[in-house]
Amino acid sequence: MKIITVCTMGIGTSILLKMNVEKVLDQLGLSGSVEASDLGSARGASQSADLIMTNAEMARALSDVAVPVAVVHNFMDTEEIARALREAARQ
């Protein structure tokens, strides 16, 4: 599974989310690669991704991409991240 974490600039919260997604993937025993991205780059990268994870504001901006977009409200909440990953893995 290829996952893209997105924030406006791609250097702050997307990296924090990336680290926590990687931690949760490991805890769940799921394999995947995670890439932190800015909003503009995420559009192009979405063509080869299985899932985008971001906040509600960025999700609205990415509503036109062809890949599922999971909204994470608290990037530090590994339980919330795990729920989003489990849902994505079922699709």
Our answer to whether residue 64 is catalytic in this structure is: no
Q: Which of 4, 6, 7, 49 is the catalytic position?
A: 7
CATH classification at residue 53: 3.40.50.2300
Alpha-carbon span 44 to 60, nearest angstrom: 16
| Residue 53 near residue 81 (C-beta atoms within 8 A) | yes
Alpha-carbon span 67 to 89, nearest angstrom: 13
- What is the predicted pLDDT for the residue at 11? 81
**pTM for this predicted structure:** 0.92
- What is the predicted pLDDT for the residue at 69? 95
Q: Which domain holds residue 45?
A: 2-90
Mean pLDDT, the chain, whole residue set: 93
How many domains does one find in the chain? Answer: 1
Question: Which residue blocks in the chain are alpha helix, DSSP H?
Answer: 13-28, 39-45, 56-61, 78-90
In a 13 Å sphere around the CA of 40, the CA atoms on its Cβ side amount to 2
